[in-house]
Amino acid sequence: MAHSSRLVDLVHERIEDFLAERTSILRSISPDLDPLDLFSRRFLSGGKRFRALFCYWGWEAVHGRGFDPFDADDEVDLAPVVSAAAALELFHAAALVHDDIIDKSDTRRGAPSAHRLFETLHAESGWAGEADAFGIDAAILLGDLLLGWSDELLDAGLDALPDRAAARAARTEFMRMRTEVTAGQYLDILEERAWVAQPDDEQRLRAERIIVYKSAKYSIEAPLVIGGAIAGADGAQSAALREFGLPLGIAYQLRDDLLGVYGDPEVTGKPSGDDLREGKRTMLVAIARERLSAGQRRLLDELLGDPDLDADQIRMLQRTIAECGAVDELESMISDHAARAVAVLERAPLSQAARSELGALVRTVTRRSS
Amino acid sequence: MAHSSRLVDLVHERIEDFLAERTSILRSISPDLDPLDLFSRRFLSGGKRFRALFCYWGWEAVHGRGFDPFDADDEVDLAPVVSAAAALELFHAAALVHDDIIDKSDTRRGAPSAHRLFETLHAESGWAGEADAFGIDAAILLGDLLLGWSDELLDAGLDALPDRAAARAARTEFMRMRTEVTAGQYLDILEERAWVAQPDDEQRLRAERIIVYKSAKYSIEAPLVIGGAIAGADGAQSAALREFGLPLGIAYQLRDDLLGVYGDPEVTGKPSGDDLREGKRTMLVAIARERLSAGQRRLLDELLGDPDLDADQIRMLQRTIAECGAVDELESMISDHAARAVAVLERAPLSQAARSELGALVRTVTRRSS
């Protein structure tokens, strides 16, 4: 775990250094841009850094040896993988800024979301026009800025890599990830509306497709494969990272779905039952709809996605979904997928240190409470 | 001009081929993604392709020789510059998709804007929820997708370039452009609201800053410099391209400001007086505010940015702004900037063919009606 925590520090430093350079560009244009700078830093200062960790351990898994975090003379060049890990965090911050606009989320990690920060800035500055519209417009641009920067940081890292084929492989995976996660997000917002026009027996399939593209590949599989590519992974190693990453990514998102309905607001930083108000058509909902009686299903469909659900209605929905057995089924799906990931690890052509750390990460991401 | 029109065809083909590859990725995920594909193509099928043209002529200016568009055996490798030009068009399409959300524009080039297309898709499909919210959410994601793709296309082009220093220079300019234009757009939406809190005597300065970053560097200077970099421009050549591109870019945007207020809707594809309803704080407005009496200025401030301005009010504002002499002053600024650009061209260390074509482009971009 010392490696992981040292890695998180290195990624944090890399992000800080990168943002400091960008600050000077923004400052040379106008001090009016300071909020873009300030809010970027705020969104990049925290988070679980799972993507950075998986990227690093994908690299370590192939590189075959660790680095000594306390030895300054260690000759392993970490710059490429640290920059790639930092780029994944920047990309994620960009996605969250846009995601919060789309989901109308007021909070992120217990603090105001980006569009709310800009809205407050407007309200406090005595400007003309509507504060909420400015909040959304400015946050669209902040997300765009961070998207571009994530790419810039990735390139800076890959430029430092002598192995050009490895750089190209890492970049190809990053680009595919970017297309796939955006497609997955589109399927997610589509499903919230289009489910009414879809046959009930395709719901699980559609929910799983969203999980795979919006989250599993993006959050775990791609970071692992990008890290591995930077270390020069061969076909078998990349395949092992994928076979491990995909089921773990699915388990990760299924846990997220449960937290979106049953999570403790104190721990998640999101209001209780947030996904219910948003009307997310998750695997949990798909399973519940299969299990509920026709009358209960109608009630669920009626309430799901109502932004004005009160605390009693949230509790009632939480109970209904749990009592039909959907939560138990989801928990067992999480265990099954986690077990599949662990099984892949046992016979994977990856370093011992990485296999051990990735095994620990399986527990962290599938049993977390935030 | 044969070169220009052949280049536009090549860029168009490159975009089509690139999108076809992306279609197969989207198709492999779900046919539900077809609208992302369809709308991408629609937004990339037209436009003036100014950015692509400036990129090409920046390249030609340095490369020092043209290519024979009718000679299939011509050995000049156009792939890198054609891909970079196509990437600029993709980036521009992404920016327009987000811009139209921000500006609440219903139309783009005479057809519905992206968020309106998604809104119609929702309305016609009988889905749940609100069509307009879906339109905006989906268009945010479409813009994100195109942003990522523009970068991917640039890299594909630069990977094919044997001169690594040239590739790095082109990329650095592209990235700086991306940061600067997003900063410029933020300053633009800020000024629409924050002008009330700013001293009147700083208005011109602020309007000029927006022009420089939102448009001049982005639309003309950066494409020229990127093209030049791909051909291996030296310091003097890059400087000449910048010294030519910046004043021309300013003239280009000043013409745009006039078209936003006085343009013929039949030709621009935008409603008459669109910028007045949006409340854009352009150089034209800054100059008019300096020239108007206090009473007229108050009236202008009151009406500007009211989305419900009727045809009579638009005509009244158009007349008020013209009669105070602001239009004449702007026209003379356009001529001055165009003349500065032409003067740079005369003594620039750039190819004869490019200097001649860039001279023609000065007339095209500063005297256009759409």
CATH number at residue B186: 1.10.600.10
pLDDT classification of A94: cutoffs 50, 70, 90 = very high
> Do B340 and B247 share a structural domain?
yes
Look-up of token digits 């992981």: A4
- Is residue A341 within 8 A of residue A251, CB to CB? The reply is yes
Asked if A159 reaches chain B (Cβ–Cβ under 8 Å), the answer is yes
- What's the pLDDT at B166? 97
pTM: 0.95
Radius of gyration of chain A (CA): 21
Tell me, yes or no, whether B342 lies in a domain: yes
Tell me, yes or no, whether A2 lies in a domain: yes
Nearest CA in chain B to A142: B182
Tell me, yes or no, whether A203 lies in a domain: yes
pLDDT classification of B72: cutoffs 50, 70, 90 = low
Q: Angle at CA B122, nearest 5°, toward B119 and B128? A: 125
Among candidate residues A114, A141, A159, the one where a domain is terminated? A159
For residue B81, the 8-state DSSP code is H
> Do A267 and A201 share a structural domain?
yes
> Do B283 and B173 share a structural domain?
yes
Average pLDDT over residues A179-192: 96
> Do B282 and B217 share a structural domain?
yes
What are B299-318's pLDDT values in tens digits?
999 999 998 999 999 999 99
Average pLDDT, chain A: 93
SS3 string of B304-330? CCCCCCCHHHHHHHHHHHHHCCHHHHH
- Structural domain count of chain A: 2
User: How far apart, in Å, are the Cα atoms of B1 and each of A356, B80, B85, B285, B338?
Assistant: 64, 21, 17, 36, 20
- What's the pLDDT at B316? 95
DSSP string, B140-180: HHHHHHHHHHHHHHHHHHHHT-S-HHHHHHHHHHHHHHHHH
- What's the pLDDT at A53? 96
* Chain A interface, best mutation among B179, B205, B298, by max A CB count within 10 A: B179
Asked if B162 reaches chain A (Cβ–Cβ under 8 Å), the answer is no
Asked if A24 reaches chain B (Cβ–Cβ under 8 Å), the answer is no
User: Which of chain B's residues have a Cβ under 8 Å away from the Cβ of A209?
Assistant: 29-30
> Do A144 and A180 share a structural domain?
no
What are A197-232's pLDDT values in tens digits?
999 999 999 999 999 999 999 999 999 999 999 999
Q: Which residues span the domain enclosing A260?
A: 164-370
Among candidate residues B159, B177, B210, the one where a domain is terminated? B159
Tell me, yes or no, whether A58 lies in a domain: no
Tell me, yes or no, whether A281 lies in a domain: yes
Q: Could you tell me which of A18, A11, A56, A7 has the C-alpha nearest to residue A40?
A: A18
> Do B288 and B341 share a structural domain?
yes
> Do B289 and B260 share a structural domain?
yes
Report the SS3 class of residue B111.
strand
SS3 string of chain A? CHHHHHHHHHHHHHHHHHHHHHHHHHHHHCHHHHHHHHHHHHHHCCCCCHHHHHHHHHHHHHHCCCCCCCCCCCCCCCHHHHHHHHHHHHHHHHHHHHHHHHCCCCEECCEECHHHHHHHHHHHHCCCCCHHHHHHHHHHHHHHHHHHHHHHHHHHHHHCCCCHHHHHHHHHHHHHHHHHHHHHHHHHHHHHHHHHHCCHHHHHHHHHHHHHHHHHHHHHHHHHHHHHHHCCCCHHHHHHHHHHHHHHHHHHHHHHHHHHHHCCHHHHCCCCCHHHHHCCCCHHHHHHHHHCCHHHHHHHHHHCCCCCCCHHHHHHHHHHHHHCCHHHHHHHHHHHHHHHHHHHHHCCCCCHHHHHHHHHHHHHHHHCCC
Please identify among residues 268-287 of chain A the ones whose CB lies closer than 8 Å to any CB of chain B. Answer: 279
Tell me, yes or no, whether A65 lies in a domain: no
> Do B330 and B207 share a structural domain?
yes
Query: A71-75, B171-175, B357-361: which has the minimum mean pLDDT?
Result: A71-75
> Do B212 and B82 share a structural domain?
no
Average pLDDT over residues A170-195: 96
Average pLDDT over residues A5-17: 93
* Chain B interface, best mutation among A127, A161, A212, by max B CB count within 10 A: A127
> Do B311 and B180 share a structural domain?
yes
Among candidate residues A159, A176, A201, the one where a domain is terminated? A159
What are B44-70's pLDDT values in tens digits?
987 889 999 999 999 999 998 555 555
> Do B296 and B227 share a structural domain?
yes
Look-up of token digits 């030895």: A71
Tell me, yes or no, whether A5 lies in a domain: yes
Helix-helix angle A294-303:A283-291, to 10 degrees: 150
Tell me, yes or no, whether B287 lies in a domain: yes
For residue B244, the 8-state DSSP code is H
ipTM: 0.94
> Do B295 and B171 share a structural domain?
yes
Please identify among residues 214-273 of chain B the ones whose CB lies closer than 8 Å to any CB of chain A. Answer: none
CB pairs under 8 A between A and B: 167
Report the SS3 class of residue B113.
coil
